[in-house]
Amino acid sequence: MFIPDSTIERWIEEDVPGLDLTSHLLEVDRAAARISFTARNQTVLSGVAEAAAVFAKLGAEIESLSSEGSLLQPGDPILRARGNGGMIHSGWRVALNILEYASGIATRTAQLVGQARQHGDVLVCGTRKAFPGGRRLSQQALLAGGGVPHRLGLGETVLIFPHHYNLIGLEQFLGRLPAIKRAAREKKIGVEVECLEQAELMAAHGADIIQLDKCSPATAQQVVSALRDRFPALVIGAAGGINADNAAAYAATGVDMLVTSWMYFGKPADISALIEPEDQPLSMCSPRHDFATLIKPSSALLLGLICLS
């Protein structure tokens, strides 16, 4: 997916509205620093190039990064960057949010794909229901997990919903369907239905794709059994309510694709971020270092503010 520099800049600006006050008061831009991201759990990685772009935009140097779509085990490295402490801290949370949210989507997608492929070549398709502003990153994560975008946007495909043909009338819609197919002959015409009778009607009038909305696996099985031999070129998809608990059951019906937004909404991946001095890593938890020796004189203003609060 193409994610422009303007989007990367907008993500940074959202978290750093002109100034990182904490880093400014501590003057950490005088210190050379390194940040390392690693996986805490088994994770399908996504968003790594975008996370690296955040640090590059802030002037940091990227030392290493893993590949998009990699299956990571606990402790596996993801990304490492170096620069002054100011640029590293400004990019830290932005990059971590990108990695955790995108990798969470990719990991859930891979879970669905694994279940679907137990029953043949069934596509897992992610809808366009991603959170506003996050669609490109969400659909990139979908691809990283082995899924495919259902629709990148309204201008990409023709998908006719019940509220479309209810507005113009069912009979009028069926009468216009041949003209619609001629006008968009480079596209397949998809129609969403809610039962076997509607599926048979739309297939008989030339629909290329039948999308079953919120139908049970039993109904999906009926539609596949009734239409597959009569309309061998027909693509049949199941949509609505598909998740990790029922994906295998839907895939077993013989549908061609599972259409869902389930992968977009869930717990982010758990990724560790470690910031340390480039030359000599220190730990404030270590008994070797007295807390007072770690405080620079330039930090007096910040400590004064803390004591007054």
The answer to whether residues 66 and 45 touch, using CB atoms and an 8 Å cutoff, is: yes
Question: What would the two tokens of residue 171 be?
Answer: 């009979």
Using CA atoms, how far apart are residues 188 and 186, in angstroms rounded to an integer? 7
Question: What would the two tokens of residue 196 be?
Answer: 């076997």
Over residues 91-150, the pLDDT tens digits come to 999 999 999 999 999 999 999 999 999 998 999 999 999 888 899 999 999 999 999 999
Whether pLDDT at 296 is above 50: no
Among 193-197, 238-242, 275-279, whose mean pLDDT is lowest? 275-279
What residues does 62 pair with on adjacent strands?
Answer: 81
| Residue ranges of the chain assigned to CATH 3.90.1170.20 | 5-109+267-308
Which fold does the domain 5-109+267-308 belong to in CATH? Aldehyde Oxidoreductase; domain 3 (3.90.1170)
Using CA atoms, how far apart are residues 289 and 108, in angstroms rounded to an integer? 43
Using CA atoms, how far apart are residues 88 and 63, in angstroms rounded to an integer? 13
- Residue 252 has a pLDDT of 97
Helix residue ranges, H only, the chain: 5-15, 21-26, 48-57, 85-116, 135-144, 162-168, 170-183, 196-204, 217-227, 247-251, 300-308
Whether pLDDT at 309 is above 70: no
Task: Tell me yes or no: is domain 111-264 CATH 3.20.20.70.
Answer: yes
The answer to whether residues 249 and 217 touch, using CB atoms and an 8 Å cutoff, is: yes
The answer to whether residues 242 and 125 touch, using CB atoms and an 8 Å cutoff, is: no
Over residues 144-193, the pLDDT tens digits come to 999 999 998 899 999 999 999 999 999 999 999 999 999 999 999 999 99
| pTM, to two decimals | 0.87
Using CA atoms, how far apart are residues 261 and 93, in angstroms rounded to an integer? 26
| Residue ranges of the chain assigned to CATH 3.20.20.70 | 111-264
For 15-62, give the secondary structure using H, E and C. HCCCCCHHHHHHCHHHCEEEEEEEECCCEECCCHHHHHHHHHHCCCEE
- Residue 132 has a pLDDT of 87
Over residues 12-47, the pLDDT tens digits come to 999 999 889 999 999 999 999 999 999 999 999 999
Whether pLDDT at 280 is above 80: no
Helix (H) or strand (E) holding 275: strand 271-277
